[in-house]
Amino acid sequence: MTGLVVAMDGPSGSGKSSVSRGVARALGLRYLDTGAMYRAMTWWMLQQGVDLADPAAIAARSGEPGIVCATDPDAPAIHVDGVDVGGPIREAEVTGAVSVVAAVPEVRARLVALQREAIGAGGIVVEGRDIGSVVCPDAPVKIYLTASAEARARRRSAELAGTTVEAQQEAMARRDTLDSTRKTDPLSMADGAVELDTTALSLDEVIAEVLRLVKERA
């Protein structure tokens, strides 16, 4: 399993994080949350007062923040210039802005390079939007997780206080549209990926199915 890379892509709320961590734990692999890296970049841009309506301004500063993502599935952590930003990157301000920052090609080039460095020789489950298509196109196991829009919104609103399923569904639809229609590396199902609809499945059932695919393909 040392050289194995499991690429886990899909829209928000499809269960990527819980499934990826569960699979990594079961197989003794590392775990990388690439969404956290885009969120960390966005948090830093907001802190710096960069005008997010200006892609050139985002691009010009994208090389500055030092972003480090820990890869232990039991203790995922993300730091920007030594500051733990695990909490702030999940706040509404970052969530509302991240797709705009993630659409800037210079941001993607920088973070994809950092992601490939973290992946190194493998032994890792990597979750994101473009892992099977761009970051690791040679990954032996590529999963594309989906779920109905309502199920995804229900899961997300159960995790977050003070939001309704309807508000979540609207916010997620907006983010999904931005993520799947951007010019650079849009969210899409990679060649050779297996689509797994998790709407009617429990977490354990999804993990079991991914473990079966790993056994079959890796």
Is 34 among the residues that bind ligand C5P (CB under 6 A)? yes
Regarding 144 and contact with ligand C5P (CB under 6 A), the answer is: no
Long-range contacts at 117-120 (CB < 8 A, ≥ 24 apart): 118/32, 118/69, 118/71, 119/5, 119/32
Whole-number minimum distance, CB 84 to ligand C5P, in Å? 17
In our burial notation (b when 16+ CB lie closer than 10 A, e otherwise), range 97-123 reads bbbbbbbbebbbebbbebbeebbeebb
Q: Cβ closer to ligand C5P: 38 or 44?
A: 38
Question: Among residues 2 and 75, whose Cβ is nearest to ligand C5P?
Answer: 75
Q: Which residues are annotated as a binding site?
A: 10-18
Out of 35, 86, 88, 105, the only residue in the binding site for ligand C5P (CB under 6 A) is 35
Task: Out of 21, 129, 152, 155, name the contact with ligand C5P by CB under 6 A.
Answer: 129
Verify binding: residue 128, ligand C5P, rule CB under 6 A: yes
84 to 103: interface string for ligand C5P, x by CB under 6 A: --------------xx--x-
DSSP result, 67-133: EEE---TTS--EEETTEE-TTGGGSHHHHHHHHHHHT-HHHHHHHHHHHHHHHTT--EEEEESSIII
**Shortest gap between Cβ of 200 and ligand C5P (angstroms)?**
22
Task: Based on the shown chain and the rule CB under 6 A, indicate whether residue 133 belongs to the binding site for ligand C5P.
Answer: no
180 in Cβ contact with 54 (< 8 Å): no
- Candidates 18-26, 32-40, 57-65, 154-162 — which segment interacts with ligand C5P by CB under 6 A? 32-40
Q: How big is the chain by its Cα radius of gyration, in Å?
A: 16
Residues found near ligand C5P in the complex (CB under 6 A): 12, 34-35, 38-39, 98-99, 102, 128-130, 175, 179
